[in-house]
């Protein structure tokens, strides 16, 4: 009986694997990536083994580095070495960041010497730099050759490089003198010199921040930009697909931090519950600390509350309004900085605009809310509330715009400090304003 049960279980598992394999066969690459990203670690490794070898390499290239790292640890050494070797150097670097040092060293040592050297070179740049995300496998042509000769050169190296649609033109010492597009080469007379076809090159330094480099690619609508060293010597190319991945990751990070959480950096359903806790607990502790300051302010004005109990009714409204107004301003400014619309030098203009915006928002809310407040608590309390709402909204938008720009200027990620600082400052100062206005208007 026991043997029959075991056999039945094995048959059931085999049937389930067959169904999964058939399901994977009917998906395109993007659907397989999404399917694997929604599975737990063990099931993902089993499902990945069901993919044909060529398809597995294609899918592996598109997985998040964190998911790639888990698969590398779960699969057999021979399989992982093949998958790792099939990646481009700029895709290997983020994967190596996710792996234990021993596993990373083993995979690197298994690469051919040239691949090992190019991958190690990328690892020498800062994690958030353009150099870490560039491809060192770049097509280029020297000055002084014809368009026909350039095309022959590109045909010879086409399979070895990341892209051939934008081609740096190099002078002595590998200095980038310009760029020429593949289209321009194809439509030009083969006898025309590349020097006459090339245009000025937009380049990024290998040490530049990757987000700034990605913004440059997006703003210019480039297929890619050459990456150079301090002497403008060609090191690699930063392509538009890498730029879009960088911007997506930065946008996710900013959204999470402005919302009071740490970025997950991987598909949500593949994150363990304790991972979700770690991403949120620090910010909640900070906000609890901020709440204690608010309690302290209320305790300080306890006598005023005892005299006019109706004031307590509107405290949650004021705190919520101030926090929301500040968060709106911070989110707008952080986003504007992320896409390059504003820079730290624009702080005076930005803060001035946000103060005016906050005043008008507060005035609008005061007009809408003063009637119901007067009906509930009387004319004077309604007047106190109206004045306070205008002041709090103006203050909140000023703080919400100043904090991220100041943080950027001193080298701190604006999204990290915006949420907790604005909540702490606006909640506390908003109550001080509220009770101060009440003392003047109500004479308490």
Q: Are residues 250 and 392 in the same domain?
A: no
The number of CA neighbours under 13 Å toward the Cβ of 216 is: 18
Report CA 84 to chain centroid distance, whole Å: 25
Where a domain ends, among 61, 93, 124? 124
Mean pLDDT to the nearest integer, 97-111: 82
Residue 267 lies in a domain: no
As for how many domains the chain has, the answer is: 3
Higher pLDDT, 255 or 386: 386
Residue 265 lies in a domain: no
Please count the residues of the chain: 444
Question: CA-to-CA distance for 293 and 431, rounded, in angstroms?
Answer: 10
Nearest to 167 by CA among 159, 177, 114: 177
What is the crossing angle of helices 65-74 and 41-49, to 10°? Answer: 80
Residue 153 lies in a domain: yes
Question: CA-to-CA distance for 184 and 440, rounded, in angstroms?
Answer: 74
Angstrom distances, CA of residue 146 to CA of 156, 307, 404 = 16, 89, 51
User: Do the bridges between strand 166-170 and strand 176-181 make them parallel or antiparallel, or are there none, so unpaired?
Assistant: antiparallel
Checking if the pLDDT of 48 tops 50, the result is: yes
Could you read off the pLDDT of 155-167 as tens digits, one per residue?
Answer: 888 777 878 889 9
DSSP alpha helix (H) spans, 75-172 = 77-86, 89-98, 101-109, 113-123, 130-133, 147-157
- Check which CATH number belongs to the domain holding 282 and give it: 1.10.357.20
Residue 212 lies in a domain: yes
Residue 345 lies in a domain: yes
Q: Write the DSSP assignment of 204-256 as a string of letters.
A: EETTSBHHHHHHHHHHHT-SEEEEE-TT-BEEEEEEHHHHHHHHHHHHHHHHH
Residue 266 lies in a domain: no
Q: Are residues 206 and 311 in the same domain?
A: no
Average pLDDT, the chain: 83
Q: Are residues 415 and 334 in the same domain?
A: yes
Query: What is the pLDDT at residue 281?
Result: 72
Question: CA-to-CA distance for 237 and 243, rounded, in angstroms?
Answer: 11
Q: Are residues 67 and 186 in the same domain?
A: no
Q: Are residues 287 and 344 in the same domain?
A: yes
pLDDT band at 1 (very low <50, low <70, confident <90, very high): very low
- Specify whether the CB–CB gap between 391 and 433 falls below 8 A: yes
Where a domain ends, among 124, 157, 181? 124
∠ CA 245-50-61, nearest 5°, is 20
Angstrom distances, CA of residue 427 to CA of 209, 354, 438 = 34, 18, 17
pLDDT band at 6 (very low <50, low <70, confident <90, very high): very low
Residue 295 lies in a domain: yes
The DSSP output letter for 75 is S
Using CA atoms of 308, 313, 315, 320 in order, give the dihedral in degrees to the nearest 10.
-160
Q: Are residues 288 and 398 in the same domain?
A: yes
Q: Are residues 286 and 423 in the same domain?
A: yes
Query: What is the pLDDT at residue 54?
Result: 82
Q: Are residues 163 and 113 in the same domain?
A: no
Nearest to 223 by CA among 162, 147, 141: 162
pLDDT band at 290 (very low <50, low <70, confident <90, very high): low
Q: Are residues 282 and 418 in the same domain?
A: yes
Q: Are residues 249 and 360 in the same domain?
A: no
Checking if the pLDDT of 4 tops 60, the result is: no
The DSSP output letter for 172 is G
Q: Are residues 120 and 53 in the same domain?
A: yes
- Check which CATH number belongs to the domain holding 221 and give it: 3.10.580.10
Where is 234: in which H helix or E strand?
strand 234-239
Q: Are residues 307 and 428 in the same domain?
A: yes
Domain around 193: 141-258
Mean pLDDT to the nearest integer, 66-88: 80
């Amino acid at each position: 009986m026991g043997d029959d049960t075991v056999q039945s279980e094995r048959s059931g598992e085999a049937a389930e694997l067959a169904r999964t394999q058939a399901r994977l066969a009917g998906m395109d690459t993007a659907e397989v990536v999404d399917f694997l990203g929604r599975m737990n670690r063990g099931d993902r490794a089993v499902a990945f083994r069901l993919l044909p070898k060529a398809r597995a390499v294609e899918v592996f290239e598109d997985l998040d580095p964190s998911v790639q790292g888990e698969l590398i640890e779960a699969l057999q050494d021979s399989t992982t070495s093949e998958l790792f070797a099939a990646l481009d150097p700029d895709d290997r670097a983020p994967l190596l960041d996710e792996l234990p040092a021993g596993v990373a060293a083993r995979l690197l040592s298994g690469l051919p010497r040239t691949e090992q050297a190019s991958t190690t070179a990328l690892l020498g740049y800062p994690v958030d730099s353009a150099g870490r995300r560039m491809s060192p496998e770049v097509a280029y042509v020297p000055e002084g050759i014809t368009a026909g000769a350039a095309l022959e050169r590109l045909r010879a190296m086409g399979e070895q490089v990341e892209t051939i649609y934008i081609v740096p033109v190099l002078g002595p010492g590998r200095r980038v003198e310009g760029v020429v597009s593949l289209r321009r080469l194809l439509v030009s007379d083969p006898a025309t010199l590349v020097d006459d076809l090339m245009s000025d090159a937009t380049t990024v330094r290998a040490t530049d921040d990757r987000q700034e480099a990605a913004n440059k690619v997006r703003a210019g609508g480039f297929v890619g930009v050459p990456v150079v060293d301090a002497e403008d010597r060609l090191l690699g190319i930063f392509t538009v697909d890498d730029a879009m991945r960088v911007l997506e990751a930065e946008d996710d990070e900013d959204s999470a931090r402005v919302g009071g959480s740490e970025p997950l950096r991987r598909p949500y359903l593949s994150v363990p519950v304790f991972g979700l806790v770690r991403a949120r607990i620090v910010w909640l502790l900070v906000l609890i600390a901020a709440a204690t300051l608010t309690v302290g302010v209320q305790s300080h004005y306890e006598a005023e509350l005892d005299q006019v109990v109706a004031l307590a009714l509107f405290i949650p409204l004021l705190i919520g309004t101030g926090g929301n107004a500040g968060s709106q301003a911070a989110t707008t400014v952080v986003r504007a900085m992320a896409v390059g619309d504003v820079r730290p030098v624009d702080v005076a203009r930005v803060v001035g605009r946000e103060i005016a915006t906050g005043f008008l928002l507060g005035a609008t809310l005061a007009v809408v809310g003063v009637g119901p407040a007067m009906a509930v608590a009387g004319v004077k309390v309604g007047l106190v509330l109206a004045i306070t709402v205008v002041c709090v909204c103006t203050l909140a938008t000023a703080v919400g715009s100043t904090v991220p720009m100041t943080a950027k200027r001193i080298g701190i990620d604006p999204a990290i400090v915006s949420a907790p600082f604005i909540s702490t400052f606006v909640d506390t100062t908003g109550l001080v304003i509220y009770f101060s206005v009440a003392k003047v208007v109500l004479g308490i």
